[in-house]
């Protein structure tokens, strides 16, 4: 079920917040934070940080990648296995800035 505002001018604001509150966007913020401190993220980092299964982590990362929010970079060796590194895109950064404006205006 999707919540909708009665006021059409506010619908876009709430749509952005609904998207933000999904798990994949929480992971997007995590990857963005890691990029900000000059680190990249692998699926193992996501699994370790959020204590979720690797299949679910891969699914969320695939959704973010298909939405062009993250991109794969070079592979890195961790625990004897090569994993893709992920970085956040400029598209994702602009969406996160828009969400920040909404939250700031509320507070």
Q: 3-class SS at 82?
A: strand
Domains of the chain, with CATH numbers? 12-106 (1.10.10.10)
Torsion, Cα of 67, 39, 85, 77 (10° steps): -170
User: Hey, what are 7's tokens?
Assistant: 């006021």
Which long-range contacts does 51-56 make (Cβ < 8 Å, 24+ apart)? none
**Residue among 11, 14, 102, 24 at smallest CA distance from 68:** 24
pLDDT, mean of residues 59-81: 88
pLDDT in tens, 15-51: 666 666 678 888 888 899 888 888 888 888 888 888 8
């Amino acid at each position: 079920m999707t919540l909708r505002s009665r006021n059409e001018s506010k619908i876009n604001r709430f749509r952005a917040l609904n998207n933000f509150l999904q798990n994949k966007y929480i992971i997007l913020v995590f990857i963005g934070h890691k990029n900000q401190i000059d680190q990249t993220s692998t699926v193992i980092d996501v699994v370790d940080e959020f204590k979720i299964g690797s299949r679910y982590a891969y699914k969320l990362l695939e959704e973010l990648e298909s939405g062009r929010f993250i991109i794969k970079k070079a592979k890195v060796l961790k625990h004897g296995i090569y994993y893709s590194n992920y970085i956040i895109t400029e598209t994702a950064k602009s969406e996160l800035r828009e969400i920040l404006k909404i939250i700031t205006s509320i507070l």
